[in-house]
Amino acid sequence: MVLKALRNLRAARHNLPAKTSRAADGDILLETVGLTKTYAGADSELPVLGGIDLKVRAGEVVALLGKSGSGKSTLLRCLAGLVPPSSGTVSYRDTPLTGANPGTAMVFQTFALLPWLTVQQNVELGLEARNVPADQRADAAQQAIDLIGLDGFESAYPKELSGGMRQRVGFARALVVEPDVLMMDEPFSALDVLTAENLRGELMELWESGQFPTRAIVLVTHNIEEAVLMADRIVVLGSRPYGTIRETIEVGLDRPRDRNAPAFDELIDRVYRIMTGRTKETLPPALHSVRAGETPFPGRPEGADLDKRTPANTPLPTASVDGLSGLAEMVAHRGGRCDLADLADDLGLEVDDVLPLVDALDLLGFAKISDDDLLLTDTGTTFAGADVQQSKTIFAEATVHVPLVKLIVSSLHHNPDSVLRAGFFRDVLAHHYTSEQVTQQLETATDWGRYAELYSYDADPQEYRLDKGTGQAT
- Whichever domain contains 246, its CATH number is 3.40.50.300
Structure confidence by residue, pLDDT tens digits, 82-112: 988 888 999 999 999 888 898 898 888 777 7
Q: Would you place residue 419 in the very low, low, confident or very high pLDDT band (cuts 50, 70, 90)?
A: confident
| Distance set, CA 102 to CA 81, 159, 424 (Å) | 9, 30, 37
Least confident of 126-135, 163-172, 299-308, 401-410: 299-308
Mean pLDDT, rounded, for 30-42? 81
Q: Would you place residue 155 in the very low, low, confident or very high pLDDT band (cuts 50, 70, 90)?
A: confident
Residue 170 scores a pLDDT above 90: no
Which of 224, 245, 276 is a domain's end point? 276
Which of 223, 241, 276 is a domain's end point? 276
289 occurs within a structural domain: no
Mean pLDDT, rounded, for 185-203? 79
380 occurs within a structural domain: yes
Residue 4 scores a pLDDT above 60: no
Can you give the length of the chain in residues?
A: 474
**Encoded amino acid at 335, one letter:** G
Q: Would you place residue 235 in the very low, low, confident or very high pLDDT band (cuts 50, 70, 90)?
A: very high
Residue 465 scores a pLDDT above 80: yes
Count of the separate structural domains present in the chain:
2
Residue 158 scores a pLDDT above 90: no
Residue 333 and residue 262 in one domain? no
Q: Taking all residues of the chain, what is their mean pLDDT, rounded to a whole number?
A: 78
Residue 334 and residue 255 in one domain? no
Residue 265 scores a pLDDT above 60: yes
DSSP for 3-36 reads HHHHHHHHHHHTS--S-------S-EEEEEEEEE
Mean pLDDT, rounded, for 26-45? 78
Residue 403 and residue 262 in one domain? no
pLDDT recorded at residue 211? 64
Q: What is d(CA 385, CA 362) in angstroms, rounded to the nearest whole number? A: 17
Mean pLDDT, rounded, for 415-443? 83
164 occurs within a structural domain: no
Q: Would you place residue 369 in the very low, low, confident or very high pLDDT band (cuts 50, 70, 90)?
A: confident
Q: Would you place residue 78 in the very low, low, confident or very high pLDDT band (cuts 50, 70, 90)?
A: very high
Residue 247 and residue 308 in one domain? no
146 occurs within a structural domain: no
Strand order, beta sheet including 244-250: 104-107, 181-185, 216-221, 61-65, 233-238, 244-250
**Encoded amino acid at 281, one letter:** E
Structure confidence by residue, pLDDT tens digits, 116-145: 988 888 888 878 888 888 888 888 888 777
Strands 45-57 and 28-40, by their bridges, are antiparallel
DSSP 8-state secondary structure symbol assigned to residue 416 = T
In degrees rounded to 5, what are phi and psi of residue 114?
A: -85, 115
Q: What is d(CA 28, CA 156) in angstroms, rounded to the nearest whole number? A: 39
Which of 219, 246, 276 is a domain's end point? 276
Query: In this prediction, what percent of the chain has a pLDDT beyond 70?
Result: 82
Q: Domain range holding 54?
A: 2-103+179-276
Contact between 170 and 114 under an 8 Å Cβ cutoff? The reply is no
Q: Would you place residue 241 in the very low, low, confident or very high pLDDT band (cuts 50, 70, 90)?
A: low
Residue 313 and residue 269 in one domain? no
138 occurs within a structural domain: no
Ramachandran area for residue 426 (φ above 0: left; ψ -120 to 50: alpha; else beta): alpha
Query: In this prediction, what percent of the chain has a pLDDT beyond 90?
Result: 13
Residue 330 scores a pLDDT above 50: yes
Residue 253 scores a pLDDT above 80: yes
DSSP 8-state secondary structure symbol assigned to residue 243 = B
174 occurs within a structural domain: no
pLDDT recorded at residue 73? 87
Structure confidence by residue, pLDDT tens digits, 354-367: 888 888 898 999 99
Residue 293 scores a pLDDT above 60: no
Q: Quickly list H helices, 348-402.
A: 351-363, 378-385, 388-399
| Cβ atoms within 10 Å, residue 41 | 16
Using alpha carbons, select from 448, 460, 361 the residue that is nearest to residue 406: 448
Residue 56 scores a pLDDT above 90: yes
pLDDT recorded at residue 31? 93
Residue 97 and residue 28 in one domain? yes
Q: Would you place residue 341 in the very low, low, confident or very high pLDDT band (cuts 50, 70, 90)?
A: confident
130 occurs within a structural domain: no
Contact between 229 and 259 under an 8 Å Cβ cutoff? The reply is yes
pLDDT recorded at residue 323? 82
Strand, coil or helix: what is 62?
A: strand
Residue 73 and residue 214 in one domain? yes
pLDDT recorded at residue 163? 80
**Encoded amino acid at 165, one letter:** M
pLDDT recorded at residue 17? 38
pLDDT recorded at residue 120? 86
CA 410 vs. chain centroid, Å, equals 29
pLDDT recorded at residue 385? 83
DSSP 8-state secondary structure symbol assigned to residue 155 = T
Residue 42 and residue 77 in one domain? yes
Residue 212 scores a pLDDT above 90: no
Q: Would you place residue 257 in the very low, low, confident or very high pLDDT band (cuts 50, 70, 90)?
A: confident
Task: Sort 364 into a burial class: Cβ within 10 Å, 0-12 / 13-18 / 19+.
Answer: buried
Q: Would you place residue 26 in the very low, low, confident or very high pLDDT band (cuts 50, 70, 90)?
A: low
Residue 300 and residue 218 in one domain? no
Residue 266 and residue 301 in one domain? no
**445 or 211, which is more confident?**
445
Residue 410 scores a pLDDT above 50: yes
Residue 87 and residue 224 in one domain? yes
Residue 254 and residue 320 in one domain? no
Query: Residue 182: enclosing H or E segment and its boundaries?
Result: strand 181-185
**60 or 346, which is more confident?**
60
173 occurs within a structural domain: no
